[in-house]
Structure 1
């Protein structure tokens, strides 16, 4: 498995399904050495099995990304196995739909811990290793909801907006250390959580997809291709950037 990421040590969170799984498979095809995390061990095991069947190198280290101790151990596993960490893909997230006035304190904090705190924990844990080894690439899955808001996703959108700001700050602070930090804002993507959320949206996936720049929903594999590019040396001059991947061009209240 030779490619742009050959021999690179990479960590991916939320790797059991959707964009995380697709990215893990893409990274493996590009030659990366993978440590994969998810809160659902059975799903991560499936991703690892697929990669190994294709001749790739991957292990699972599962846990809850809202737990700083777990995230540190996840990063530590990659460093222990490969003596470095070259790539961190912060992908794990979830949302609890509801209009702002109906969001409970618990729902707000739960989403903050998974969507925002986990990204901070991952970046903070990876930075000492990346700076000591002379560089690295951090790529976070953000969201178009974090740029323009999203109906019934107020908490999720607010935390994703913070992720974007954190990405830009890290890029600025650690450029001199050779660390690049970027984010991807996928438009409507056909993942399980998105398709489940769209069950309550008039017109469903087809109508919602029309609001994206390309007039259709993206596939997880298409987003993974963007992540792989940002993680690779092909994007060596790119940092502090939020890549709009089939970005949603309109944000509206469903009628």
Structure 2
């Protein structure tokens, strides 16, 4: 399992690895020879992804739980270090959104999305930093969103927390550069994942019409997004830190 990016031998944690972007990223990294620890709320999903990786000759284990809980994140990182001795890459990917205009968002909906979208990223970064510092570096890649750059109709809470993720990413990149730690975010644009496709069932015109509002006039595929993550995780991006890597941005936002 060789890869032109030189990923072989690295160890990575991927959250939200059971489907969508997380699954695609796990499979892509595995093809490059990366050893993986997969986390998700749905053990049956990560078990299937890990089995697929092992069947292709790769290495993967699962450690499932709720990314909104600091104790779980600490255990996830500790498991990775116990098994593989290091953690070279962290892909903060798990996310959750509730549609609704800002005036209709409840306190519980705001806090729930904050915990999954923002708190989980903070917990993940904080947990891996000591290990990355001790080993001389590492790469942190977080899935943000175009909604965090320019807002998104009926996704105000999600967009606000994704914007905070971008700021946190840039701050970590500044603070830990001397320790060899790179921290970047991606904004993949509207991606054909299960939650997105389910949400689009209530949007006039569905996925096809929604995709026309993106820069490339179509929705992104999870496998395309995984290539963005793989590059940022690799030594090929050794000069890249504090960057928000723009994917297939939306240039217009429909109003269902």
Under a length normalisation based on structure 1, what TM-score does the superposition of the two structures give? Answer: 0.98
Q: Select which of 179, 199, 204 maps to 1:197.
A: 199
Q: Find the aligned partners of 1:174 and 1:213 in 2 and give their Cα distance.
A: 33
How far 1:249 moved relative to its partner?
2.0
Q: 1:253 to 1:190 in 2, by over 3 A?
A: closer
How far 1:126 moved relative to its partner?
0.3
- Is 2:255 the partner of 1:254? yes
How far 1:239 moved relative to its partner?
0.3
Q: Find the aligned partners of 1:60 and 1:84 in 2 and give their Cα distance.
A: 16
Unaligned stretches of 5+ residues in structure 2: none
- Is 2:99 the partner of 1:102? no
Query: Does structure 1 retain, via aligned residues, the 8 Å contact 2:172–2:183?
Result: yes
Say which SS state the counterpart of residue 12 (structure 1) adopts. Answer: strand
How far 1:194 moved relative to its partner?
0.5
Equivalent residue for 2:133? 131
Q: Find the aligned partners of 1:159 and 1:226 in 2 and give their Cα distance.
A: 21
Q: Find the aligned partners of 1:128 and 1:203 in 2 and give their Cα distance.
A: 48
Equivalent residue for 1:183? 185
How far 1:2 moved relative to its partner?
2.4
- Is 2:13 the partner of 1:11? yes
Unaligned stretches of 5+ residues in structure 1: none
Within 5 Å, which residues of 2 pair with 1:157-168?
A: 157-168=159-170
- Is 2:53 the partner of 1:51? yes
Segments of 4+ moved more than 2 angstroms? none
Q: Deviations over 1:57-78 (max 9, x none)?
A: 0000000000001001101111
How far 1:160 moved relative to its partner?
0.3
Under a length normalisation based on structure 2, what TM-score does the superposition of the two structures give? Answer: 0.98
Count of paired positions = 254
Equivalent residue for 1:90? 92
Say which SS state the counterpart of residue 176 (structure 2) adopts. Answer: helix
Equivalent residue for 2:221? 219
Equivalent residue for 1:2? 2
